[in-house]
Structure 1
Amino acid sequence: MSFFKNIFKGNKDEVKKEQIAALTNGELVSITEVPDEVFSTKMMGDGFAMKTTDGIIVSPVAGKIGSVFPTKHAITINSVDGREVLIHLGVDTVKLKGEGFESFVEENQDVKVGDKLVKMDVEFIEKNAKSSMPIVIFTNLDASESVKIQEGSATAGELNKIEIIK
C-alpha cells in the first residue's frame, strides 16, 4: 500500500525515510567498539552497538520478525523498508544456550519501533560471556550506504540518533 501512496504523492522529497531507534536504554556506541572482529570490522555489515543499562531490548525498526534463534541471543527483522536487520545480544552469548535471555516475540510477528523484544540478564551475561553489548547489523546495505550515529546517551525507542546514509 505504501508503494501506491508514494507514487501518488508526486513529490519524492515527501517520501519518509526509515525510522531507526535506539534498542535499549544506555549508551549508543560505534560498531567498531564491539569486542569481536566479526562485528567491529563490519564483516557482516554496518550497524551500531549499545551499552545497555537495563537489558530491555526493543525493536529498532518496524517490520516482521524473521527468526528468533533457539538460544535467544539473536533475532532477525525484515523491516518495512526492505532492510535485513540482525540484532545480536552480546558477544559469545550463543554458548549460554538461552540462559540469561527472555524473549517476547516469535517468528512472523509484526513489530513496531519500540516494541519489546527481549529482556537480558545483564549481570549474568557479563559474568558468563565476553560482552553484554547489544549489536544491530544491517546485513543488506548497498555498497554506497553506511550507518551514521550520534554517540552518547540514548533511551530505548529514541529516534533521530541513527540513520543510514549514502
Structure 2
Amino acid sequence: MFEKWKRKSSTENKKIQIASPLTGQAVPLKEAPDEAFAAGYMGPGIAIVPQEGRLVATFDGLLAHVFKTKHAVIIEHSSGIQLLLHIGMDTVSLKGQGFTAHVETGQEVKAGQLLIEFDIDFIKEAGYPVITPVVFSNANEVPYTTEWTVGSVQAGKDIISIATCNDS
C-alpha cells in the first residue's frame, strides 16, 4: 500500500510548499518550552502558537502515523519528507482528552484537510503549553533545504516554508 509513496529518484530538485497546519503565530522553534524541540533534536522546523483548535494537513500526503493519544501526526509527502505536527508540549499525558482525530494512520490527505480538532482552553487549564512544533522528522534521511517564515499564519492558506528536495 505504501509503495507509491517511496521517494523516486530525479535529476531535478522538487519544491514542496508547506502550508501552515494551524491558524496562529509562527515563531522560531527555539521558543518551544521543551529542549528536545527547541534544540532541534526532534528535527528542524518551526513552532506555532494556535489561536484555533484545528490542525490541518500541510500538503497532499499520507498519514504515516496518527498517535493513539491524538496529540500528534506524521504526514509524509511523496518526495519522502515527513513532518511531525505535535500539538502542545507534554500533551501525550492527556491520553487523548481534549483531542478529536478525523483521520487515521495510512490515510491519504489533501492540503488543508482537517486532521485533528483540539480544545485549547482544556489543554491550557490542564497546565500544558499549546505551542505546536512542526518539524521534519526524517531530516537525516531525505536531503532537502528550507527556510521558515514566522509571523501571523492561517491554517491551510499561508505557506510557512518551501522545501527543496535535493534528489539525485
TM-score, normalization by structure 1: 0.85
Gaps of 5+ in 1: none
User: How many residues are paired up?
Assistant: 159
Which structure is larger by alpha-carbon Rg, 1 or 2? 1
Q: After superposition, where does 1:50-129 map in structure 2 within 5 Å?
A: 50-129=48-127
More helix by share: 1
Structure 2 CA distance for partners of 1:42 and 1:147, relative to 1, 3 Å: farther
| Most deviating of 69-78 and 138-147 | 138-147
Structure 1 SS opposite 2:121: helix
Please report the RMSD computed on the Cα atoms of aligned residues, expressed in angstroms: 2.5
Q: How far has the Cα of 1:44 moved from its partner?
A: 1.2
Structure 1 SS opposite 2:17: coil
Aligned partner of 2:147 in structure 1 is 148
Q: How far has the Cα of 1:139 moved from its partner?
A: 1.4
Query: Which residue identity does 1:19 align to in structure 2?
Result: Q
Aligned partner of 1:21 in structure 2 is 19
Structure 2 SS opposite 1:162: strand
Gaps of 5+ in 2: none
Query: Which residue identity does 1:163 align to in structure 2?
Result: I
Aligned partner of 1:160 in structure 2 is 159
Q: How far has the Cα of 1:128 moved from its partner?
A: 1.0
Q: How far has the Cα of 1:145 moved from its partner?
A: 4.8
Does the 8 A contact of 1:58 with 1:113 survive in 2? yes
| Most deviating of 111-120 and 156-165 | 156-165
Q: How far has the Cα of 1:97 moved from its partner?
A: 0.6
Q: Can you list the C-alpha shifts for 1:24-72, whole angstroms capped at 9, x where unaligned?
A: 1111111111110000000010011111111111011221111111111
Q: How far has the Cα of 1:159 moved from its partner?
A: 3.9
Does the 8 A contact of 1:103 with 1:117 survive in 2? yes
| Most deviating of 38-47 and 134-143 | 134-143
TM-score, normalization by structure 2: 0.84
- The runs of at least 4 consecutive aligned structure 1 residues that moved more than 3 Å come to 142-147
